[in-house]
Structure 1
Amino acid sequence: MTETTKQPIRVALVDDYDVVLTGLAHMFDRYRDRIVICEIDANAELSDQVDIVLYDSFAQPESDRQELAALVRNPRASRVVVYTWNFQPELVESARTQGTHGYLSKTLPARELVAALEAVHAGERVVSEPPSKRVGSAPGLDWPGRHEGFTERESEILALITQGKSNAEVAALTYLSVNTIKSYIREIYRRIGAASRTQAVLWGVAHGFSPDHHRIDHWLGGP
């Protein structure tokens, strides 16, 4: 009896930023026999039929019910998985009730991320263990400002500021206090030599903190 060849799982990546998405896509380079990236969407609608949409939450509110709900409803997406380091119980529960199929930590090494996606594809609902307080991103990930020395959290806050969010809005979206946001902003200003919010926004626009708006199809020869 001939054994059926197992097909790789078709995955679409969704986020607002190309640099985040391409860094994530490269994490799967060694696993192309198991995971194939069909498309990479930065504020573009899903166009391919895929097994899993991996929704990277950098500078996007994980509680954005409209974005996740639209992906869950999309008939082209069989399953939707959130990829994040923010494990506030309210966010995990919100994603679950919206019908997502997984909530995965960015601290997972590539092999464990691939295994988790395979479990989701097999019908399991997978939720990672919350990361420790000393959060670090998985090797290979990238984000705006990383090469200028920003942590992912600092970059997320600057990205939200660049998008025009107020301190109160940033605090609500990141589940931090306004005073904590102010502390982050002071550190961001110091790093970039900004004396005002306007200067910080202009710096952010000039250094890739504005959301991108396009799709990358057929990543590295994918379908």
Structure 2
Amino acid sequence: MTVRVLVADDQTVVREGLMLLLGLLPGVEVVGAASDGLEAVEMTARLAPDVVLMDLRMPRLDGVEATRRIRARHPEAEVVVLSTYSDDASVFAALRAGARGYLTKDTDAESLARAISVVAGGEAHFAPHVQRRLAEAVADGGRPAARALPDGLTQREAEVLGLIAAGRSNAEIASELFISEATVKSHINNLFAKAGVRDRAQAVTYAFHHGLAPTRMT
């Protein structure tokens, strides 16, 4: 399957370099390039890419808001953030806007190709250091406070979701919550069905997108 990619970056040299690099990757077709967030939204509507490779700091409309609009209007288009920044605010804002992937601009061609392929397949993909920080954030933040939860999740399912995002195995979740592994599996099956996710990577993205993770990382 050929993945159709739209590049969005306000720096001409970066934008053109990415287009050349992506053009050399097997199974990738570059369908266009946007110089700011507003143009990225407009070109997504016109060109119907599978994946938008999105910078965050851009004029007229930043990458976070562009991601939010693209995901709201064209949910079939996935977004992978490619940014110089990996600070807490940038990562959380991008995930809550609906990004499925987050890489920094020091990534190599192989990692970029893998991220595009994984995200186009409906799964989440993060740079290793971003993934570690997300897991630490969930672990440090504890379990979600009792409140209205999305998609009919129960409080216990939200707790299990948080522990999944923290990288816990089923056995570790069972030990921490003082329940059996069979009960953990049952909760996971239920919350995956309610949330419409297929795997643990998607569950992490879902947790951040719906505000079930802490708002800061340590």
In structure 2, the partner of 1:87 is: 86
Contact 1:68 1:98 in 2 (8 A): yes
AA at the equivalent of 1:102:
G
Structure 2, unmatched stretches of 5+, are 131-218
Deviation at 1:88, TM superposition (A): 0.8
In structure 1, the partner of 2:22 is: 28
Deviation at 1:100, TM superposition (A): 1.0
Contact 1:56 1:82 in 2 (8 A): yes
User: Relative to 1, partners in 2 of residues 1:64 and 1:115: Cα closer, same or farther, differing over 3 Å?
Assistant: closer
SS at match of 2:128: coil
Contact 1:48 1:76 in 2 (8 A): no
Contact 2:57 2:63 in 1 (8 A): no
User: Relative to 1, partners in 2 of residues 1:112 and 1:125: Cα closer, same or farther, differing over 3 Å?
Assistant: same
In structure 2, the partner of 1:14 is: 8
| TM-score after normalising by structure 1 | 0.49
Q: Indicate the structure with greater helix content.
A: 2
Q: Within 2, Cα distance between the matches of 1:61 and 1:97? A: 20
If asked which structure has higher relative contact order (CA below 8 Å, sep 6+), I would say 1
Deviation at 1:74, TM superposition (A): 3.3
In structure 2, the partner of 1:194 is: none
1:38 matched to 2:37? The reply is no
Q: Within 2, Cα distance between the matches of 1:93 and 1:35? A: 28
How is 1:161-176 mapped onto 2 (pairs within 5 angstroms)? none
Q: Within 2, Cα distance between the matches of 1:111 and 1:62? A: 29
AA at the equivalent of 2:4:
R
SS at match of 1:107: coil
Deviation by residue 1:59-100 (Cα, 9 ceiling, x = unmatched): 569975422212222328520111013111221111111111
User: Relative to 1, partners in 2 of residues 1:107 and 1:41: Cα closer, same or farther, differing over 3 Å?
Assistant: same
1:107 matched to 2:100? The reply is no
Contact 1:69 1:98 in 2 (8 A): yes
Deviation at 1:104, TM superposition (A): 1.1
Q: How many residues align?
A: 124
Deviation by residue 1:13-71 (Cα, 9 ceiling, x = unmatched): 1122333211111112321x311100111232212011001002355699754222122
Root-mean-square deviation (CA, aligned residues, Å) is 2.5
In structure 2, the partner of 1:129 is: 128
